[in-house]
Amino acid sequence: RTALAPREASARRKGKARRGRGKARNEGLLSKQKRSRRMKANDRERNRMHHLNSALDALRSVLPTFPDDAKLTKIETLRFAHNYIWA
């Protein structure tokens, strides 16, 4: 790089500051993208919870409990399984 006069360096910096991604996208497109991302995140979370609940149901089915007992909560299931394995 060659040394530039102060005025040229200033002009070059200003030009760089304006460069970038270009004009900001319009509001409609941004809100549509945000909605789409939120919907995808909600779907992922819903699927995660379905898988977690399925795994807990499978765990409940192999734990020795009495049939007249109410369904164990998530934390009760994990604690019962921990104690059962430990014993």
Judged by DSSP in three states, 71 sits in coil
What does the alpha-carbon distance between residue 10 and residue 46 come to, in Å, rounded to a whole number? 53
Which pLDDT belongs to residue 4?
56
Which pLDDT belongs to residue 65?
80
What does the alpha-carbon distance between residue 7 and residue 36 come to, in Å, rounded to a whole number? 47
Cα dihedral 82, 83, 85, 86 sign: positive
Cα separation of the two ends of the chain: 73
Which pLDDT belongs to residue 76?
93
Contact 47, 39 (CB under 8 A): no
CATH class of the domain at 22-86? few secondary structures
Q: What is the pLDDT along the chain (87 residues), one digit of tens a residue?
A: 556 566 655 555 555 555 555 555 688 888 899 999 999 999 999 999 999 999 999 999 999 887 767 888 999 999 999 999 999
